[in-house]
Amino acid sequence: MATGQDEDWDEVYPAYVRHLMAHGTILVAERDGAVTGFGATLRIGSGRQAVSMLTDLFVDPAAHGTGTGRAILGHLWSGEPRRMTFSSLHAHALPLYTSFGVDAWWPLLYLRGDVRQLRSPDGWSVWPAEADRVGLVERDWTGIDRTAEHRFWAGWPNGAAVIASLDGEPAAAGTVGGAGPEYGISHLAVRPDSGDEAARDAIIAVLSGLEPADGQARVCLPAPHPAVRPLLSAGWRVEEFDLHMASDLGLIDPRTSAPSPALA
């Protein structure tokens, strides 16, 4: 799942782990003194509405199928009734998560393409903003404070928080950035009660405002998101996909959300 690659990996991955250590929970499994796996969760939201997002679960291939993943998950999800993750397609992943009461609802598509093939929809403009401002706007819209993540994403290579406005009114808020081929939208929230058209146009407006040197960018979108069809028509390609698994279908709205596969 998460974060950068190649030369940026050394910078981005430790920062990602530090973020999880500060804001989430990371556990390692040990057998005979050796680490055999690790997993991490991040709690999104607070109180009874809080959702435990499984951000990472990796087991040493030599220990696959020996109950290590189940043991780590049992600890991470204990006392967390509202659960979600973006599951890999590894044969053990879906059955393991299903046994923890989360079901597979929709694919999260990793889309890549040329931003120069996109035209900003009429009435939209995209402006840089402080990460804290974007966190505040998203909290006003959703009731969930993601400021810590917006600060983290804005600190990525090429990272920047942005607000997209329709006819001068803020209509979407999020963060762009990422190392090398991961450059694109990290997370974008739209104003509540945005219809399909605004959810679609927000994605196209933000992507068409990016200026990567090679023109290439990435966005992760739920397969039912209304921006998927226009992006595919513009020559964008699905590179891979994860499965959104959750204890409840309503935890993420697939028609309006552009969540980060690592941190949602």
Ligand X SMILES: CC(C)(COP(=O)(O)OP(=O)(O)OC[C@H]1O[C@@H](n2cnc3c(N)ncnc32)[C@H](O)[C@@H]1OP(=O)(O)O)[C@@H](O)C(=O)NCCC(=O)NCCS
Q: Footprint of ligand X on this chain (CB under 6 A)?
A: 57-59, 64-70, 85, 87-88, 90-93, 95-96
CB 107 within 8 A of CB 244: yes
Q: Any idea which residue has 């997370």 for tokens?
A: 187
Q: How far is the CB of 130 from ligand X (least distance, A)?
A: 32
Shortest distance (Å) from residue 58 CB to ligand X: 5
Smallest separation (angstroms) from ligand X to the CB of 107: 13
Half-sphere exposure at residue 191, Cβ-oriented, CA atoms within 13 angstroms: 14
Identify which of residues 95 and 250 has a Cβ nearer to ligand X in the complex: 95
Distance (Å, whole) CA 29 – CA 189: 35
Using the minimum distance from each CB to ligand X, give the nearer residue, 19 or 151: 19
Which among 160, 159, 168 is positioned nearest to 125, based on CA atoms? 168
Decide whether 104 or 160 has the Cβ nearer to ligand X.
Answer: 104
Q: How far is the CB of 122 from ligand X (least distance, A)?
A: 40
Query: 101 to each of 44, 89, 92, 115, 119, how far by Cα in Å?
Result: 18, 18, 15, 39, 42
Q: How far apart are the first and last CA of the chain?
A: 11
Nearer to ligand X, 37 or 177 (CB): 37
CB of 153 to ligand X, least distance (A): 20
Q: Which residue is nearest to ligand X (CB)?
A: 69
In this complex, which beta carbon is closest to ligand X, that of residue 66 or of residue 158?
Answer: 66
Shortest gap between Cβ of 241 and ligand X (angstroms)?
12
**Alpha carbon distances (Å) from 77 to 54, 60, 70, 214, 260:** 8, 21, 10, 42, 20
C-alpha span between 146 and 259 (Å, rounded) = 12
Q: Which is nearer to ligand X, 50 or 94 (CB)?
A: 94
11, 157 Cβ separation under 8 angstroms: yes
Q: Give 47 or 95: the residue with its C-beta nearer to ligand X.
A: 95
Distances (CA, A) of 251 to 56, 82, 151, 231, 235: 18, 8, 23, 25, 30
- The CB-of-180 to ligand X minimum distance in angstroms stands at 22
Torsion of CA 114, 115, 120, 126, to 10 degrees: 160
